Structure 1
Amino acid sequence: MNLKSHLDTLKLRHANLESKISAEDRRPRPDDTELTRMKVEKLRLKEEMERLKMS
């Protein structure tokens, strides 16, 4: 997989997590554990994208 397609895949996963986080946040009783897990994963993806852009 080349760098551009890898970045595109990471961006898509990041956007999907953003949607899932928003949906979970709108629920009457959001699952805080799941929200935290998704936010940590989203941050990890963002950091990986930044790292790849620098190389």
Structure 2
Amino acid sequence: MAIKAHMDSLNRRHQELETAISSEVKSPGYNDLRLVELKRQKLKIKDQLEELRVQSKNIN
């Protein structure tokens, strides 16, 4: 159950980052460095989610 809760939390954070990226791109004169950092964080979360999915499959 702890894995599911952690995955839910990561999914929420992933969506928040997607929203932040979208907002950043739409703003005039957006900051390239901020955009790269947001995308890096989003990718890191995606990797964590995949790792948890694999662990979850191995448990069941």
TM-score by length of 1: 0.97
Larger Rg: 2
Alpha carbon RMSD of aligned pairs, Å? 1.0
CA deviation string 1:15-42 (max 9, x = no partner): 0000000000001111000000000000
TM-score by length of 2: 0.89
* Residues matched between the structures, number: 55
Question: Do residues 52 (structure 1) and 52 (structure 2) align?
Answer: yes
- The runs of 4+ residues in structure 1 deviating greater than 6 Å are none
Aligned to 1:17: 17
Gaps of 5+ in 1: none
Aligned to 1:27: 27
**Identical aligned residues as a percent:** 38
The residue matched to 1:48 in structure 2 has which SS?
A: helix
Question: Do residues 36 (structure 1) and 45 (structure 2) align?
Answer: no
Gaps of 5+ in 2: 56-60
